[in-house]
Every structure is written in structure tokens, then in C-alpha cells.
């Protein structure tokens, strides 16, 4: 049995004082949850989130990590800076980073390896664009993204990775993949992991769905056999809605 994982990607929202208040509200709502709960604020809000979640079952994640240990990389954060700040998880290769900030499959792979080397748990995002779905090549896209992200990652380390399947056309659009569509692609990702490492890894690796998951559709999505959790944007900023999603992840 894979433990489900519900992660909130706060994206570029909340100031530090707002993040503190939101994290405190989520800590209260997440008490006794039967899934892993993660909140991913902006880097500047990480200290406030770590402080607010201390001693709770809510972990803190970052939204990105650089692959070098230190050096002349203005604006970037190294993995050991995140671990020292109390961060446990890190989102890597989100489609917004691929779309707006030049993230490639290759840099996703470098970041994944750097995160694992520092003891961070990567949440690696994959997912097809609308054009790729319409052209019927979504399988090729998620297979390629998954394989390159995991290049050179050992089987033991691969077990620590969570893969988030986020179809780009469903992010922030209110369009959710149907539960069957999401389960199908999460299944393709699991098969891909099996071809790389065998069932020892593919049976334990967690695969989330992300893209307009909300309080109304979470239960149906999370009931699917290949969906082990959710990476939630908009609804993760609303503690009551996020609580419903956490409650649906049994
Ligand atoms: P929304 O839930 O706002 O569609 O965002 C999904 C997402 O991108 C999470 O990483």
C-alpha cells in the first residue's frame, strides 16, 4: 500500500505573514490526516512555514532547487540551503518553470539528482500540452519526461521520488482531466518506471495528479488505483478546500 501524498503548490502567492497564517490554518486542518501533507510556499516564506509547522504532520517543500552546490548563480537556491532551512520536499520541473524559465528535461534530471544527494524528496512534474494530447502523443511526452528525469538515479533513490502528472491544459484552467484520463496516464508513468527499475520500484513510487484538483473532484481522482495523491495549486490556498482534499486521501 502506497501512502497518499497531498501537496499544496502555493506558486507566487502569499507574503511571509500571510504564509504564516495559511500554514497555521492548514496545520490545524491536517491534524490526524492519514496521508502525507506538504505545503510549498515561495522561498522567502519557507522560514515562516517551517516555524508554523514545527511539531506537526505538515512538511514544507520548496518550488525549485538549483543543481550546483554553490557559486555564481544569481537568484538560485542550493539544496543544502533548503535542507538547513527545514525543507523536506522540492517541486522540480513544474510546467510553469518549463514554459517561462527555460527548464528542460535535462535540467530537471540535474535538479532531481542534486535534491536526492542532499536528502530532499523530489516531486518531479511531467505532463503533456494540449497540442500533444490532441496529436495523440501524450504517452511519448510523459515517457520521455519520466525517463530523462530519472537518468542516473539509483533504484533506492527512485523510491524516494514522487512524480506529479500535471497535464498542462488542466492547470489553473478549471479543466480537470477526468479521473479515468488521469489514472490512465499515471498508469503509463508507472509502467515507464517499471521498465526502468522493475516492479520493486514501480509498486512503491508515488504518482500524484495535478491540474484543477479541488474539493469537489478530489475524492473521485484519489480513488483511482494509479493516483497516489495530488499536487494542488489554487485550492491549496483555501484551508477549508485543502482540508477536504486531505480528507479524501485515505
Ligand atoms: P491548479 O490546481 O491551480 O490547477 O494548479 C495545479 C498545479 O499546477 C499544481 O502544481
Q: Is the pLDDT of residue 174 over 90?
A: no
* Residue pair 230/245 in contact by the 8 Å Cβ criterion: yes
Per-residue pLDDT reduced to its tens digit, 192-210: 999 999 999 999 999 999 9
Q: Which domains does the chain have, with CATH numbers?
A: 5-248 (3.20.20.70)
Nearest CA to ligand 1 atom 7: 233
The residue-averaged pLDDT of 202-228 equals 97
d(CA 57, CA 41): 16
For residue 43, count other CB atoms closer than 10 A to its CB: 17
Residue 164 backbone dihedrals phi, psi, to 5 degrees: -105, 115
Regarding the beta carbon of 234 and ligand 1, being less than 6 Å apart is answered: yes
Task: Cite the active site residues.
Answer: 94, 166
Question: Residue 81: which residues within 8 A CB-CB, separation 6 or more?
Answer: none
For residue 190, count other CB atoms closer than 10 A to its CB: 20
pTM: 0.98
Q: For residue 115, name the pLDDT band (cuts at 50, 70, 90).
A: very high
| Ligand 1 atom at minimal distance to the Cα of residue 231 | 9
Report the residue among 122, 172, 238, 244 best suited for mutation to probe ligand 1: largest number of ligand atoms under 8 A from its CB.
Answer: 172
Return the axis-axis angle of helices 138-149 and 179-197, rounded to nearest 10°.
Answer: 40
For residue 91, count other CB atoms closer than 10 A to its CB: 26
Report the residue among 6, 168, 234 best suited for mutation to probe ligand 1: largest number of ligand atoms under 8 A from its CB.
Answer: 234
Amino acid at each position: 500500500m502506497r501512502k497518499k501524498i497531498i501537496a499544496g503548490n502555493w506558486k507566487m502567492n502569499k507574503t511571509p505573514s500571510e504564509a504564516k497564517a495559511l500554514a497555521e490554518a492548514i496545520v490545524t486542518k491536517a491534524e490526524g490526516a492519514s496521508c502525507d501533507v506538504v505545503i510549498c510556499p515561495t522561498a522567502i516564506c519557507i522560514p515562516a512555514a517551517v516555524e508554523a509547522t514545527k511539531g506537526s504532520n505538515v512538511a514544507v517543500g520548496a518550488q525549485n532547487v538549483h543543481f550546483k552546490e554553490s557559486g555564481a548563480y544569481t537568484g538560485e537556491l542550493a539544496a543544502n540551503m533548503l535542507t538547513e532551512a527545514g525543507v523536506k520536499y522540492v517541486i522540480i520541473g513544474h510546467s510553469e518553470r518549463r514554459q517561462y524559465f527555460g527548464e528542460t528535461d535535462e535540467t530537471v534530471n540535474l535538479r532531481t539528482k542534486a535534491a536526492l544527494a542532499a536528502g530532499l524528496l523530489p516531486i518531479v512534474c511531467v505532463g503533456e500540452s494540449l497540442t500533444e494530447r490532441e496529436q495523440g502523443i501524450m504517452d511519448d511526452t510523459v515517457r520521455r519526461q519520466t525517463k530523462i528525469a530519472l537518468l542516473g538515479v539509483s533504484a533506492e533513490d527512485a523510491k524516494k521520488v514522487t512524480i506529479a502528472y500535471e497535464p498542462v491544459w488542466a492547470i489553473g484552467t478549471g479543466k480537470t482531466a477526468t479521473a479515468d484520463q488521469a489514472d490512465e496516464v499515471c498508469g503509463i508513468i508507472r509502467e515507464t518506471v517499471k521498465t526502468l527499475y522493475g516492479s520493486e520500484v514501480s509498486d512503491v513510487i508515488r504518482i500524484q495528479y495535478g491540474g484543477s484538483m479541488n474539493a469537489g473532484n478530489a475524492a473521485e481522482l484519489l480513488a483511482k488505483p494509479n493516483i497516489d495523491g495530488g499536487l494542488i495549486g489554487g485550492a491549496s490556498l483555501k484551508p477549508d478546500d485543502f482540508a477536504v482534499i486531505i480528507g479524501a486521501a485515505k
